[in-house]
Structure 1
Amino acid sequence: MLVRELVADLVEHGGQPAGHHRFQFVKPGHLIWSHVSGSPSVAGSGLGSPRDILSPLWPLVPSRSHRNSLSGGRSRPSGGATLAGMRATSGVRHAPDTSGLREKRRAENFPVALRVLPEQLRADLVAVYSVARTVDDLGDEAEGDRVAQLEAFSSELSAAFGNGEPEDPAVRGLLPAIRAGRLTEEPFQRLVQANIQDQRVHRYPVFADLLAYCRLSADPVGRIVLDLLGVADPAAAGLSDRICTGLQLVEHWQDVGEDYRNGRIYLPQEDLAEFGVAEEELGAAHASPRLKALMRWETGRAAALLGSGADLLGYLSGWGRFAVSGFLAGGLATVDALRASGGDVLSAPVRPSRAGLLSWLGWLQVGTRRRSG
């Protein structure tokens, strides 16, 4: 029953169809996989084996000397919201688990709330997704004064956490978890602030500025999930931040062209200059060789963040570990898809495959260790 529901979940979730996979245990506890047909294998994607990508040894911000060796005269360095990394859809308010919200969940890079999860955890995750989705849609697509609408939504959140009765259906969906003491207000308000920042900031000079934005737009979602799982360890929170920032970055790299057309550029200005990429190139039908090289570089940094946060799974057990594995698996499968594109994120949509997501999800269950004690 569990396997059938899991497969149904992943089929419903979406993504590009992929070929059949062959799983092979090379040693106890270490699972690798390769494609028989379909999209490229992990090894072919430039990531190496799952064990390689999960190594925290990759540098998160390699030196400029590494950057200058990228292909096209430069070679890739050896190292490297939303539910963090959520994909934009429409500006409609969302009641939890409506048909419209389910359709949006299917568009994400990762399964938001697997049907195999316990009812309460799944309901909580759906409610959190509904709020995060609404905040993002208000910031991306709402008509009229978006800042005013986001501030009004912030007031709705404050009412909910202050024992009031919010009117917004998405916020009302949080009430059971709020009143049971499973959630706190601060991370939700950071998500609102991220979208207010989007109305005012459209360029990021350096990577550190983008990371600061991700602390508002992505990291709070991981903190919310840890709250729901009852995990209060500061080390776990730091690892969660790395995963969430990585998820946010791969979503940005998928949407470079769309964001450019909407007047936003998340690629750091210093990186555009370093690779000789003009802003206008982001609106082209195909990526230039310079932009491809830049996207391979940025994908490596996102992969490093995801891999260096994978130790979070060691702090989790049971269904919580499984749910978070799904988020991380979606990010790693998206890295595979970005690698397979060769850095051309403009010619066609870059989406993770279902088979790739399932492969990473399976490997994370057996290939990462739980902490003792």
Structure 2
Amino acid sequence: MDYIRGLHNCTGFTPGSPTGFRAARDKNFSRVESLRLTNIYVALERNVVTRQRPGTHDLRASMSILASARCVEYLDRVMEVDHYENFPVASILLPKRLRAPVGVIYHVARTADDIADEGVFDPAERHARLADFRAGLDAVAAGQPAPVHPMLFEKLAGTVSQYGLPLGPFYDLVSAFDQDIDTTRYADWPALMDYCRRSANPVGRLMLHLFHASTPENLADSDAICTALQLINFWQDVGIDWKKSRIYMPLCDLERFGVTERHIDEQICDDAWRALMRHEVDHARAMIVGGAPLAVRMPGRFGLELCSVVHGGLRILEKIEQADYDVFRKRPVLKGPDWVVIGMRSLAMRLRGRVGVQLRSVES
């Protein structure tokens, strides 16, 4: 699942204490930078958490995407999925009562993704195994024992029953994984957005349902953030995806800007490529900024966490621009100084109640 793996690239930090974040696996994050960033979050928590109105602590459960996208330390210990270290999480921000259901959601998504993308199976076998997995979801819906992965689906059935989760998002994930086996190009934006709707958005939607916060406004903003993060990962990993024979940029955009697959194969970064990348970066930036109101209206550490995710994604886009759009030779990664910038911008976002980013017009 490119969305799950890509979140770490945009927001790859993990909480090291209740009062601050440490860089995840970044050897360049100095002790001074770590202390500076921790102080930023301490100051923010004092301004945000202590000023909540009586009873608003219950709204921590209304956070969306980050409850699912930020708990890998906890989940890796529980499920021993050590090769999924790129799934960033913040178990410290999850209420203890919700860690088990989040773990089940994560395990279901990872298992289905492995069927589609791991191992040495041929496409026909992957499709067949995903069909079996879909039959497991059917069994959960019917209240029957699953024919495959019986323990996993038994846990899912209990979680769905206890928390009233819809099964639709799980079917969407399986559908997207199934599509990823054969589909390596997207003709236009509607086709790519339909893929993102099923591959990126379900996790955020499930978390909103889990936290009883699935209002239309929250769902729309969560979808925007989830899809934008996936797009950012696509733009960041053009070269990596090419090695898998995949291009996620809409082909209509390549044609519009005079870019061919030869540009990617030979890593040509000319004016045409830069114009294409500028357009794609602007599109993703507008989308994630469009979903940012979810972060500013959510109180406490969950709101702070989502502000950081938004600015983590925006920082990756900045670094693509700083590299003059040459993602082949200068694939953007976040280092120590970037986290200080993200922390300061998250603080400003929380205090001002807006993301504070100027957008260029995006021509369709």
TM-score, normalised relative to structure 2: 0.70
Q: What does residue range 99-248 of structure 1 map to in structure 2 within 5 Å?
A: 99-101=80-82, 103-104=83-84, 106-108=85-87, 111-142=88-119, 143-144=121-122, 145-166=125-146, 168=149, 171=153, 174-248=156-230
Q: CA deviation at 1:334?
A: 2.7
- Which is further off, 301-310 or 337-346? 337-346
Q: CA deviation at 1:206?
A: 1.6
Contact 2:257 2:272 in 1 (8 A): yes
Q: CA deviation at 1:327?
A: 3.9
Structure 2 SS opposite 1:321 = helix
Provide structure 1 residue ranges, at least 5 long, that are not aligned to the other structure: 30-81, 87-93
Q: Deviations over 1:63-98 (max 9, x none)?
A: xxxxxxxxxxxxxxxxxxx99x99xxxxxxx98833
Contact 2:296 2:350 in 1 (8 A): no
Contact 1:135 1:192 in 2 (8 A): yes
| CA separation of 1:341 and 1:176: change in aligned 2, threshold 3 A | farther
Contact 1:191 1:220 in 2 (8 A): yes
Partners of 1:337 and 1:186 in 2: CA distance: 36
RMSD between superposed Cα atoms in Å: 3.6
Provide structure 2 residue ranges, at least 5 long, that are not aligned to the other structure: 1-14, 45-64, 70-74, 355-364
| CA separation of 1:4 and 1:365: change in aligned 2, threshold 3 A | farther
Structure 2 SS opposite 1:115 = helix
Structure 1 counterpart of 2:259: 277
Q: Deviations over 1:174-232 (max 9, x none)?
A: 45532312421001111111122223332212222211221111122221121112113
| CA separation of 1:178 and 1:292: change in aligned 2, threshold 3 A | same
Structure 2 counterpart of 1:299: 281
| CA separation of 1:317 and 1:278: change in aligned 2, threshold 3 A | same
The count of aligned residue pairs is 301
- Which is further off, 246-255 or 359-368? 359-368
Partners of 1:7 and 1:281 in 2: CA distance: 45
Structure 2 SS opposite 1:193 = helix
Contact 1:204 1:266 in 2 (8 A): yes
Partners of 2:306 and 2:155 in 1: CA distance: 21
Contact 2:93 2:302 in 1 (8 A): no
| CA separation of 1:116 and 1:217: change in aligned 2, threshold 3 A | closer
Partners of 1:17 and 1:177 in 2: CA distance: 40
Structure 1 counterpart of 2:79: 98
Does residue 366 (structure 1) correspond to residue 347 (structure 2)? The answer is: no
Q: CA deviation at 1:234?
A: 1.0
Q: Percent identity?
A: 30
Which amino acid in the other structure matches residue 139 of structure 1?
Answer: A
Contact 1:157 1:185 in 2 (8 A): yes
| CA separation of 1:138 and 1:324: change in aligned 2, threshold 3 A | farther
| CA separation of 1:10 and 1:152: change in aligned 2, threshold 3 A | farther
